């Protein structure tokens, strides 16, 4: 179906940031059931790189842009960013910036409007925390589920453990009979 989003988010990044940051982030988001367009997940041998990126950009509800010094100097990430900007102009929030080792002044020289957006500062957080912040925007339903599971796990950890001797367990209580 034309125009339908099949991805929750597209991750735009420089290849230099893949190993230490982007790949672990994409894995964590996918583990938490977010549909992520990430080149390592989406591209197969023989695929057209530009066609696949264009489709990922067009069919993603959000664009997570990992802004780093490497990103600011490369053509492909800038191409992806321009595609996301074109989609965002005149519509709702689409671009979710993550600053990876850059400052506001670095970004102001590259794109003043992008420097104005509230961003996640990656050096201040771990991958799991960054993924959760992004999921709150990209998939609030999943974020709520994660929160509920964490509350349940905490309650289970803090719940008192009661030990019952085997001799006090009544066997008839363990079986359901149909009469």
The pTM is what?
Answer: 0.81
Q: What is the pLDDT of residue 146?
A: 84
Cα gap 94→84, rounded to integer Å: 7
Q: What mean pLDDT comes out for the span 34-51?
A: 92
- 163 vs 111, residue with greater confidence: 111
Can you tell me the mean pLDDT for 133-161?
Answer: 88
The 10 Å Cβ neighbour count of residue 170 is: 6
| Residues recognised as catalytic | 80
Domains of the chain (ranges, CATH numbers) = 7-174 (3.40.50.10140)
Q: Please check the confidence at residue 172 and state whether its pLDDT lies above 80.
A: no
Sequence-distant (6+) residues with CB within 8 A of 58 are: 3, 83, 87
């Amino acid at each position: 179906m034309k125009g339908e989003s099949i991805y929750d988010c597209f991750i735009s990044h420089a290849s230099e940031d893949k190993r230490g940051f982007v790949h672990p982030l994409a894995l964590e988001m996918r583990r938490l059931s977010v549909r992520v367009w990430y080149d390592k997940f989406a591209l197969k041998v023989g695929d057209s790189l530009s066609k696949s990126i264009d489709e990922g950009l067009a069919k993603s509800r959000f664009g997570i842009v990992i802004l780093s010094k490497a990103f600011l100097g490369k053509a492909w990430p800038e191409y992806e960013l321009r595609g996301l900007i074109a989609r965002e102009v005149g519509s709702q929030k689409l671009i979710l910036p993550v600053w990876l080792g850059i400052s506001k002044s670095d970004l102001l020289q590259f794109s003043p409007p992008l420097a104005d957006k509230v961003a996640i500062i990656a050096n201040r957080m771990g991958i799991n925390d960054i993924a959760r912040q992004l999921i709150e925007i990209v998939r609030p339903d999943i974020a709520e589920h994660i929160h509920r599971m964490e509350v349940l796990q905490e309650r289970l950890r803090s719940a008192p453990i009661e030990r019952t001797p085997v001799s006090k367990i009544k066997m008839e209580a363990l079986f359901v009979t149909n009469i």
